[in-house]
Amino acid sequence: MNGKIIIAPLFVAALTACAASGPENPAAAENGDEPVFTAVSGEDLREVLLDAGHRVELGVDHVGAPMIGSASSGLDYQVLFYDCAEDGRCGSLLFRAGLASEDPPAREAVNNWNRAMRLSRAYITADGEAVVEMDLLIAGGVTRSLLAEAVKRWNAMLPLFADHLSESMEEPS
């Protein structure tokens, strides 16, 4: 029984020592040659998007968090930043695109998208706009390469979503 009591404080001491030996800037630890971000700024993501060939409009939202407006495959989208610290570095991102049309998409088309595409979600707003979103958790650590891969995934997903909705509207009821 005493062994268990001694192990617990040693375990806590080991965890404390590991936490204390972390990098001075927890937002950019090192992973080999590539930085690991535990939070990103609007400028960090702006650079990744520019490298991917996107236009980038960096601003702030109604609560002062970074917000990016951009486009992919001719479709406008936003990146919203969440879990932000006072320094403007944020622990999660939400990629979001809304596709408005004269006729709202069929609910079944959106449901089919959600069943088939596990890394995104779609819904229809009260105004009939079809929205697709993709979350990216930064807290815990991601590399710049992972950020770039997430942007590639988003780039590939947007035209697929638009095509999926278009095809569903062309199908007879």
Domain-located, residue 63: yes
What pTM did the predictor assign?
A: 0.78
Would you state the pLDDT for residue 72? 86
Domain-located, residue 156: yes
Domain-located, residue 117: yes
Number of structural domains found in the chain: 1
pLDDT digits (tens, 9 = 90+) for 139-159: 999 999 999 999 999 999 999
Burial of residue 167 (number of CB atoms within 10 Å: 0-12, 13-18, 19+): exposed
CATH, residue 97: 3.30.1460.10
Write down the H helix ranges in 24-123: 42-51, 107-116
54 pLDDT above the threshold of 50: yes
Share of the chain above pLDDT 90, in %: 65
Print the domain residue range for 116.
24-170
Domain-located, residue 1: no
Domain-located, residue 148: yes
Q: Residue 33: pLDDT band by 50, 70, 90 thresholds? A: confident
Contacts of 21 (CB under 8 A, 6+ apart): none
Residue 23, number of CB atoms within 10 A of its CB:
12
pLDDT digits (tens, 9 = 90+) for 98-130: 988 888 888 999 999 999 998 999 999 998 999
